[in-house]
Structure 1
Amino acid sequence: MWHRLFLGIIAAAALAACEPVPDLSGPPTTTVRLAGAVTLTGPAGYCVDPVVTKPRQGFALLAACAAMTADETDAYPDMIALITVQVGADGSGAVAGQEDAFGAFMETPQGAALLSASAIGGPIAVRVTQTAPNTVAVYTEDIADPGISGTQKQAWRLFTDVRGRLVTITVRGLTDAPLSQSASRALLDAVVTALHSANDLPSSAT
C-alpha cells in the first residue's frame, strides 16, 4: 500500500513542479551536491529523488528510499514525509546573526505572503516561529487545500545559511499518515543536522 501511495504522491509533486514524472527504477542515492557546492544528505531512510531534483538549480526532493526501489517489501522510515530543499543564490544568506529579526518578519503579513509565494498551494498561516543560531523554523498551515494531493496542510520550514546562501528546508507529512508538529520537527532537525554536518557547520537544531 505504501509503495503505490508514495509513488502517486511523488508523481503529483513532479507534476505540480512542472517536471517529468520520475522513473524510480534506478538505485536510490542519499547524497547530492547542489548549487554553490552545498552538500545535502538525507536522514535515515530518505533518498534523493533522481528526476525531480535539480542540482544546478539548487533544488532537491527527498522521499523514502523504499519508494524509489522496485521492491514493495522494502521498509519505510517511521516518519514518512516529503522533504524539499532549496538553495538560494550566491550571497543570499540572511539568517546567521539576524535570527530574531528574520523570525519576527516571518510572523508579519508580509512574511506570510512571502512564504505563500514560495510554496505550492497558495496562502498559508504562520502558527509557530522558533529561532536558534543560524536557523529560523516556521510551522505553517495551508489556508486552502495543499498543492500536492495526499499531503498535509501543516508543514515545517527552516531557513539557514550555508556557504553564503540561504537554504530553505520544508517537511510535509502525508494525509494517510499525518505527522504531529513535534514529529515533523524532529524530522526537520534530522535534515538540518545532516546538512550542517555535511558542510562543516556546527549543528544548531533544537
Structure 2
Amino acid sequence: MRIYSLLLSFTLLAACFSPTRGIVTSASVVAGGVPVVVAGPPGFCIDERTGEQNRAGAFVILSDCGQTGAGRATIADVPLSAVLVAAVSPSGLLGARERGMGGALADLEEFLRSPAGLPSLGKGREPAAVSILRSYRTADALYILVQDRAAPSGAGLSQRFWRAFTEVNGRLASLSANSFANSDASEARARALAEGFVAAMQAANATGARL
C-alpha cells in the first residue's frame, strides 16, 4: 500500500524539525494533483520551511504558536508542547468508494494491526518495538495510540504518540500528534490534539473553505 512511503516520510521529517519564524496558520499543498489545505487545531501553526511536496505526497510539520502585537502568528519564545505532522497521500483511502468510509477505515485498521502493517506505524524502523496500545474509529477517522520503544529520543519526544487517518478532498491524510517525553503520561492531550487536527483539516477542506 502507498501508506508505507507516507509513514516513512513522517519519520524523516520529524527528525529534522526545528522551529523558525517562517510560519502560517494554514497552507495549501498539492497531493496527486489535488490541492489540500493543511490546518492544525487552535494554537498550532505551520513552519513553511519544514514542508515537502513530491510524488509521494505532501508533508507538513506544525508546532505551538502565538500572536505578535500586530496580530501575526509567531512561535518565537512559545514553549513547545507537542509536534504535529500532516502527511497527505497522492491517492484516497483504499476501498472508500466501494465500502464507504466506515468499511474502508475498518480495513485500514485491520491492515495496520497485521504483521505487514504494524511496522509502518513506528518511527524507529524496528518492527518488534512497535505496538498498538489503543484504537478507535469515528464516522470519518481512525485513531491509534502507538508505542515505539525504538523511536529516536534525540528530539525529546515521547515514545507514545497518536496517529489519525482520515480522507480530505479525496486524499488520505495521516495526522500525528506527539507530545514530549514525560509531559503527559496518559497522552490525553495528544489524543485531544489528534482529534482537533482531524476537525481542523476537515473544516479547512470543506466546500468553499479552501485557500
What TM-score do the two structures reach when normalised by structure 1? 0.74
Aligned counterpart, 2:21: 25
- Give the deviation of 1:143 after TM superposition: 2.2
Show the counterpart of 1:54. Answer: 52
- 5+ unaligned residues in a row in structure 1: which ranges? 1-12, 202-206
- CA deviations 1:54-113 (Å, max 9, x no partner) are 2554111000115x84753x5x58xx2100000001345556242222222222222212
AA at the equivalent of 1:146: P
Q: 1:166 aligns with which of 172, 192, 200?
A: 172
Percent identity between the aligned chains?
24
- 1:86 matched residue in structure 2: 87
Distance apart, 1:41 and its partner CA: 1.5
Output the amino acid matched with 1:53.
G
Distance in 2 separating the partners of 1:70 and 1:172: 17
Identify the residue that residue 156 of structure 2 maps to in structure 1: 150
Q: Is the 8 A contact 2:119 2:125 kept in 1?
A: no
Give the aligned residue type for 2:65. C
Structure 2 vs 1, CA of residues 135 and 148 (structure 1 numbering), >3 Å: closer, same or farther? farther
3-state SS, counterpart of residue 159 of structure 1: strand
**Partner residue, 1:65:** 65
**Displacement of 1:148:** 4.8
Partner of 1:129: 135
Structure 2: gaps (5+ residues): 1-11, 67-72
Q: TM-score if structure 2 supplies the norm length?
A: 0.72
Q: CA deviation at 1:42?
A: 2.0
The amino acid across from 2:43 in the alignment is G
Indicate the residue corresponding to 1:180 in structure 2. 186
In the other structure, the counterpart of 1:10 is none
For residues 127 and 23 of structure 1, do their structure 2 counterparts lie closer, same or farther at Cα, with a shift above 3 Å needed?
Answer: closer
Amino acid at match of 1:102: L
Superposed CA RMSD in Å reads 2.9
Kept after mapping to 2: 8 A contact 1:22/1:50 = no
Structure having the larger proportion of residues in strand? 2
Closer, same or farther in 2 for the Cα pair 1:22/1:175, shift >3 Å?
closer
Q: Who is 1:40 aligned against?
A: 38
Contact kept? 1:93, 1:164, Cα under 8 Å:
no
Structure 1 position 168, deviation (Å): 0.2
Does the residue aligned with 1:105 lie in a helix, a strand or coil?
helix
Tell me how far apart the structure 2 counterparts of residues 179 and 48 of structure 1 sit (CA, whole Å).
26
CA–CA distance in structure 1, aligned partners of residues 14 and 146 of structure 2: 23
Alpha-carbon deviations, 1:33-70, whole Å to 9, x = none? Answer: 1222111112111110121112554111000115x847
